Amino acid sequence: MPCQRCGALRSHRENCGCSQQSEERRMSRTVIQVFEETAARCGDLPALKTKINGVWQATSWADYRRNVRTTARALMGAGLAPGDGFALLAGNSEYWVTAYLASIAAGGVPAGLYVTSSPEQCAFVIDHCDASMVLVDSEEQLAKVLAVRDQLPKLKTIILVDGESDAPDVLTWGALQTYAEQVTEDALQSRIDALKPDDLATLIYTSGTTGNPKGVMMSHTNLTFTGETARETVGIQRGHEVISYLPLCHIAEQNITLHVSLAAGQTVWFAESLEALGDNLKEVRPHFFVAVPRVWEKIQAKLEAGMAEATGLKKHLLSWARGVGARSAEADQAGRRRPLLYPVADKLIFSKLRAALGLDRCFYAMTGAAPISQGTVDFFASLGITILEVYGQSESTGGGTLSMPGGNRKGSIGRALPGTEVSIADDGEILLRGPHVSPGYYKNPEATAETLDADGWLHTGDVGRMDDDGFVYITDRKKELIITAGGENISPQMLEGRLSSIPGVSQVAVIGDRRKYITALFTLNPETLPGAVQAAGSPARHPQEAANCPVFVRWFESQVELANADFARVQTIKKFTLLDEDFSVEGGELTPTMKKKRRIIAEKYALQIEAMYAS
């Protein structure tokens, strides 16, 4: 691909002046400088869209800038000092991004919290990030902060977006704005001008699968480099549309909603809720879509349930098209031409499916944040939708490796993000280095020293390999390896990926650390369960009945045995338990980004686990 500025071919881009200028540009700006430049360039184009009373309302880039600057002056007037922490306990909204950017402009350091956090978890983050102010979006979230208020001596002001309160030190959003009158534009500009690319811009708190979360420090360079590099590499342009629905306190969503959008000038639509995501997708029709594996799995389950109802000609046509889609995906991987009948399958089936999902304009469908089952990737590939894996973590500003259309490999997480490096350590650990790597953990030099070495390499904790073309593959997670009583090292993700393909399964948790054999906990998916119980000849109608139905359990055991045929002897599942309820964020088994909390699962289902190991 030629350089977009001067036309130099890819092989010569490292030597063209434009590439050097682009690199310097990525490295030398603050978040607010990028925002100001894009707002000036985009003017009256829509920056944000929110549904109010059933109608999507747009905020232009010019108004976005005006609102951020007014709110920044208001925060200064209300007492936000340079270096103060600014906590956000709120769902995705225009208020969230406005307050986030305003706090940075005023010299503060924003830190997001998950709306599912308990009062104790809120207290930890608000105190740890030295927040003098916290934004809450509802009386429910306000109650959490007030419940631990006496533990937060540094907290001076609570800003309530929606609702009323007569509690001390609580300001409504409207009341906050009046403080802007006390601060001039020149005073605000002085704060903005004082910001430097290497300054601390924000804190990302890891979701904490065990213990208290760590505050990952993000510099302005970390954020602007990653945002601009992703924009340029993926080809995101001004006016492209994207939907914001994953938690904004997570680095993946922050990149999409904020830093990539600020670099590109794209329009961000805020989903009404996770439950409304399907309907909102059809309204937004995003140009690129990012989903964690669990979201892709839920979409897959709904599609499979619909396909199971197809009969006659429609069933045969769908089966034929999926075969064409699967062969086309293989051809793409190998660099060969797609089957001649692909355009026919696309017109008859794939294009209609993409439109029904709201993905008809989507040129980049991405997954990240957790391992995805190859079965899910293959399922969508058979329907003409290529899911591309992106790899990174909070400590690398969410960036690390990237898969691209026409440049991806089966099972790979892609190649190094341009301008960064990937290496494989002697013990197989994946290492990352570059401008996207965090300076370390806030107030935690010991953890920083354990993660970042003297040469600037970030030790990811993931084990993998890299082929001769630079494609990286994850094979294990160092800290999540199961080490059996017999000393065998086993990757739970590898087993879970295969077991999750059993019909009717929602989620799987493999057990076996320091045990004499491997077992598994299964949850059932109510949307795909009907086909499974039919195959089993079971009268069960919902997960609770199926989990306790002897007929279904016997059939399920046969499916586990089929899966065991793909495993080495020491990896086979010797016993399993079907659980009555699914793993969830609310139940405590999943983080807000839907990663398994293995310690919590082990504690919550200790009786079921011990029963599987009873003599």
Q: Report pLDDT for 334.
A: 81
Contacts of 475 (CB under 8 A, 6+ apart): 428, 463, 464, 465, 491, 494
- CA 514 to chain CA mean position, Å: 31
> 40-49, 61-70, 209-218 — which is least confidently predicted?
209-218
Question: What b/e sequence results for 49-87 when a residue is b if at least 16 CB atoms lie within 10 Å of its CB, and e otherwise?
Answer: bbeeeeeeeebbbebbbebbbbbbbbbbbbebeeebbbb
**Averaged pLDDT, 39-66:** 96
- The answer on 606 and 532 residing in a single domain is yes
Whether residue 5 has pLDDT greater than 80: no
Q: Report pLDDT for 309.
A: 85
Q: Report pLDDT for 212.
A: 78
Whether residue 477 has pLDDT greater than 80: no
Q: Report pLDDT for 493.
A: 79
Q: Is residue 206 part of a domain?
A: yes
Average pLDDT for the chain: 89
Q: Report pLDDT for 210.
A: 46
Q: Is residue 5 part of a domain?
A: no
120-139: pLDDT as tens digits = 889 999 999 999 999 999 99
- The answer on 575 and 528 residing in a single domain is yes
**Averaged pLDDT, 69-90:** 98
Q: How confident is the model at residue 8 (pLDDT cuts 50, 70, 90)?
A: very low
Q: Report pLDDT for 3.
A: 40
Among candidate residues 141, 195, 230, the one with its CA nearest the CA of residue 30: 195
326-342: pLDDT as tens digits = 999 988 888 889 999 99
Q: How confident is the model at residue 489 (pLDDT cuts 50, 70, 90)?
A: low
Q: Report pLDDT for 446.
A: 92
Predicted model pTM: 0.79
Whether residue 147 contacts residue 119, with contact meaning beta carbons closer than 8 Å, is answered with yes
Q: What is the CATH number of the domain that holds 353?
A: 3.40.50.12780
What is the SS3 assignment for 304?
helix
- The answer on 162 and 68 residing in a single domain is yes
Q: What is the CATH number of the domain that holds 242?
A: 3.40.50.980
- The answer on 529 and 459 residing in a single domain is no
Whether residue 411 has pLDDT greater than 80: yes
Whether residue 469 has pLDDT greater than 70: yes
Q: Is residue 444 part of a domain?
A: yes
The residue out of 216, 246, 277 marking a domain boundary is 277
- The answer on 491 and 416 residing in a single domain is no
Q: Is residue 215 part of a domain?
A: yes
Quote the radius of gyration of the chain (alpha carbons, Å): 25
- The answer on 427 and 358 residing in a single domain is yes
- The answer on 436 and 299 residing in a single domain is yes
3-state secondary structure 546-586: HHCCHHHHHHHHHHHHHHHCCCCHHHCEEEEEECCCCCCCC
233-242: pLDDT as tens digits = 999 999 999 9
Q: Report pLDDT for 410.
A: 87
Residue range of the domain that includes 460: 287-477
Q: How confident is the model at residue 565 (pLDDT cuts 50, 70, 90)?
A: confident
Q: Is residue 4 part of a domain?
A: no
- The answer on 293 and 260 residing in a single domain is no
Q: For the chain, count helices (H), then strands (E).
A: 24, 26
pLDDT above 70 coverage of the chain, percent: 93
Q: Is residue 7 part of a domain?
A: no
Q: How confident is the model at residue 439 (pLDDT cuts 50, 70, 90)?
A: very high
- The answer on 490 and 470 residing in a single domain is no
Whether residue 511 contacts residue 520, with contact meaning beta carbons closer than 8 Å, is answered with yes
Whether residue 485 has pLDDT greater than 70: no
- The answer on 547 and 420 residing in a single domain is no
Better pLDDT: 615 or 45: 45
263-295: pLDDT as tens digits = 999 999 999 998 899 999 999 999 999 998 878
Q: Residue 573 and residue 559: Cα distance in Å, rounded?
A: 11
**Averaged pLDDT, 463-483:** 83
Question: What b/e sequence results for 419-428 when a residue is b if at least 16 CB atoms lie within 10 Å of its CB, and e otherwise?
Answer: bbebeeeeee
The residue out of 220, 249, 277 marking a domain boundary is 277
Q: Is residue 1 part of a domain?
A: no
Q: Report pLDDT for 27.
A: 60
Whether residue 482 has pLDDT greater than 90: no
Whether residue 604 has pLDDT greater than 80: yes
- The answer on 568 and 517 residing in a single domain is yes
Among candidate residues 43, 397, 467, 19, the one with its CA nearest the CA of residue 220: 397
Q: What is the CATH number of the domain that holds 587?
A: 3.30.300.30
Better pLDDT: 486 or 290: 290
What is the identity of the amino acid at 182?
Q
Q: Is residue 2 part of a domain?
A: no
Whether residue 424 contacts residue 436, with contact meaning beta carbons closer than 8 Å, is answered with no
Whether residue 423 has pLDDT greater than 70: yes
Indicate the number of domains in the chain: 3
- The answer on 375 and 256 residing in a single domain is no
Pairing of β 505-511 and β 518-524 = antiparallel
Q: Which two tokens stand for residue 198?
A: 């290497």
The residue out of 429, 444, 477 marking a domain boundary is 477
